[in-house]
Amino acid sequence: MTASNTFRLDPHADVAQLTADIMDINSVSGNERALADAVEGILRTCSHLEVVRDGDSLIGRTNLGRAERVILAGHLDTVPLPHVPGSRGTVPSTWEGEVLYGRGATDMKGGVAVQLALAAALTEPSRDITYVFYDHEEVEASLSGLGRLADRYPDWLEADFAVLLEPTNGTVEGGCNGTARFNVTTTGRAAHSARAWMGENAIHAMAEVLVRLRDHEPTTVSVDGLDFRESLNAVLISGGTAGNVIPDRAVVEVNYRFAPDKTPEDAEKYVRDLLVGFEVERTDVAAGARPGLNHPAAAAFVAAVGGEPKPKYGWTDVARFSALGIPAVNFGPGDALLAHSDDEHVQAEAVRTCLKALSDWLA
């Protein structure tokens, strides 16, 4: 029996229950196939949509000749399941009253459920809509299904505006910070720890790096009217070979979340200037995205859904849309602070409210 026959989703069900049904399909990064099959099963039944599949990513779009085209996008994958016994952030999902617990509850199967409900219900939307469901968002950028679609189907991703249904508590969050990672390395000379004076301790040499990071004051940068708070932190550290050997090498990984007024090159210079005198290697970077809320399509969306827009501190794929020249915002159900947690959950009403806001805007 194929995965598509194993899992069947009902896009006309209550969208909160649809969220639970989607969560019950384990789709940790690299394991999206079953969920992609189920999503394809829905899209292929929608005669008003043109559909293409690439690996475990899918695009469905209307072609009604409307004056404006918008993209609704969301990723199918989740981070790995928790290992803590008794954790509620796992698969399958569980209900406690009107609160839905489980992996992906906030990041971002509620958003995917909203996309599927809209794809099935809106046969004559006021704007042409492109629905994008993609794999491998929670891992390194080189594996991104959205990046692959942009390379292979650029004409399918042409649009005037994009909404990424990442969790924002139902508030428009414009743009996003960029993110960069660096390895900072110190070297020494190995020796027996009983004769430590014969060596040079690379771990001790790392102390100054940690002091500079500890004492660093993160800045807040205003970009297009939104205040983006930056952060710069050590996130991993390694060194040493044995309990009786003076370590000759130590590495600390540094993550810099930088405001979207900076380029990746600006971000690298900032870190190198702070850590001058140490060996610094950039290992990964993704540019941020300016809010773009002054674009007519974005302004109209904000006016339609209401509320005061906020900045997105984390990196999201709005940056990919920005790089394609498409203004984009984050807007979806759930509290981003709960994403990836062992207590991940979403209120049923939050998913329903998100669906209504987008449905009213697009109907």
Annotated catalytic residues are: 77, 137
| DSSP code, position 32 | -
Place of tokens 């205040």: 227
3-state secondary structure of 54: strand
- Strand-pairing partners, residue 31, are none
CA distances from 333 to 238, 308, 327 (A): 38, 16, 20
| DSSP code, position 338 | G
Q: Which two tokens stand for residue 97?
A: 């009253």
- The residue count of the chain comes to 363
| DSSP code, position 319 | H
**162, 73 contact by CB (below 8 A):** yes
Task: Name 316's Cβ contacts closer than 8 Å, sequence gap at least 6.
Answer: 164, 166, 176, 330
CA distances from 76 to 54, 57, 346 (A): 13, 8, 17
Q: What is the distance between the alpha carbons of residues 316 and 321, in angstroms, rounded to a whole number?
A: 10
**170, 335 contact by CB (below 8 A):** no
The C-alpha torsion from 347 through 349 and 351 to 352, rounded to 10°, is 170
Task: Name 277's Cβ contacts closer than 8 Å, sequence gap at least 6.
Answer: none
Task: Using the Cα atoms of residue 179, residue 319, residue 331 and residue 18 in order, give the sign of their dihedral.
Answer: negative
- Strand-pairing partners, residue 186, are 250
H/E stretch holding 270: helix 264-274
Place of tokens 């789709």: 27
Q: What is the distance between the alpha carbons of residues 76 and 78, in angstroms, rounded to a whole number?
A: 7
